[in-house]
Amino acid sequence: MAADIGVGIIGFGLAAKVFHAPFVSAVPGLKLLAFVERKANEAAQAYPATKTVRTPEELFADPEISLIVVATPNETHFALAKQALSVGKHVVIDKPFAGSSAEAEELIALAAANGVIVAPFHNRRWDGDFLTVKKILADGSLGRLVTFESHFDRYRPIQRENTWKEAANSANGLLMDLGPHLVDQCIALFGTPQTITASVRTDRDKTDIEDAFDICLGYDGLLAWCRSSMLACDASPRFLLHGTAGSFKKYGLDPQEPALVAGTKVPPMGDPTDWLTEAKEHWGTLSIAPVLTEPGTLNVTPVPTLPGDYRHFYANVRDAINGTSQLAIPSANGELVVRLLELARVSSAEGRTVEV
């Protein structure tokens, strides 16, 4: 058995509290050792077996820590990841992977030069609704898919004060917050698109960030839409797929995040493997025309949502560090997502379709 991999997390905001620390702690072979908190001591209260340090440099100098998790404001991701990689630490970077594709390329090259991994935290590949969509596409229920639509919306009509997430910076805003999730899921399903046509906007009356976007990724015979808005008072479908044989529609977000915010504890991996399931009332529906010459007669059936499980992200990182597996989401994927978001801005600014 390989020795436990010591893990240090930089930051203890929402990302660390909800998406990183609970899942690192639940994966055998990873040992959560320390947090960086500049002033507070919340992490030590939540995880008494860990220590709190005040600077990232203290984590980088700790020989017991092999894996650094960067869970800090977006604009700091590149500099912190670069420091950690430079001293031979493995790194997981919360989205966005970097502020630009040039920065992403530099991080990938640095990781390779130092023989360590750098992994983009695209955890939404383990959302239950996404796994369900993946299964439906694999079994061919919809025939040939022609349109794919993915929404991740919020309703925040008033700009929040005193939060870095709404501060004017090209690394912030909805495009760099939720865009990585939606674009990465399309890449996971369909690969690299051929074209991008996008509208990246500021829709609210007062805003310092991009607060809405519509991105159309063009593939051969398929259009994949990624949409997000802070003015979505009434929910759109999370997923809406149309194919030559039928459609799939799903409302609501994966239940893992709200459960964690509400205080639900993540059990150790394998006890049970499926730690959270979605209630039946939130399942999607599959509408199929059994006889295509009679399109008015449809079979509409609920589709049980497969269990989502973010523990698998960190289990894969553990295995990649131990050399028993490849990264499920390669670092090159992180760079590709950032590059596609850059091209979305180009498309929007110039009002044209951009070749990838």
pLDDT in tens, 60-73: 999 999 999 999 99
Kindly calculate the radius of gyration of the chain based on its CA atoms and give it in whole angstroms.
21
Element (H, E) at 45: helix 42-46
Contact 191, 351 (CB under 8 A): no
Q: State the pTM of this model.
A: 0.95
Phi then psi for residue 142, to 5 deg, are: -90, 0
Closest CA to 80 of 95, 91, 66: 91
pLDDT of 294 reads 80
pLDDT in tens, 32-45: 999 999 998 999 99
Question: How does the average pLDDT of the chain come out, rounded?
Answer: 95
**Residue ranges of domains in the chain, CATH in brackets:** 5-124 (3.40.50.720), 125-311+341-355 (3.30.360.10)
pLDDT in tens, 100-118: 999 999 999 999 999 999 9
For residue 119, the SS3 value is strand
Average confidence (pLDDT) over 329-334: 97
Average confidence (pLDDT) over 147-170: 93
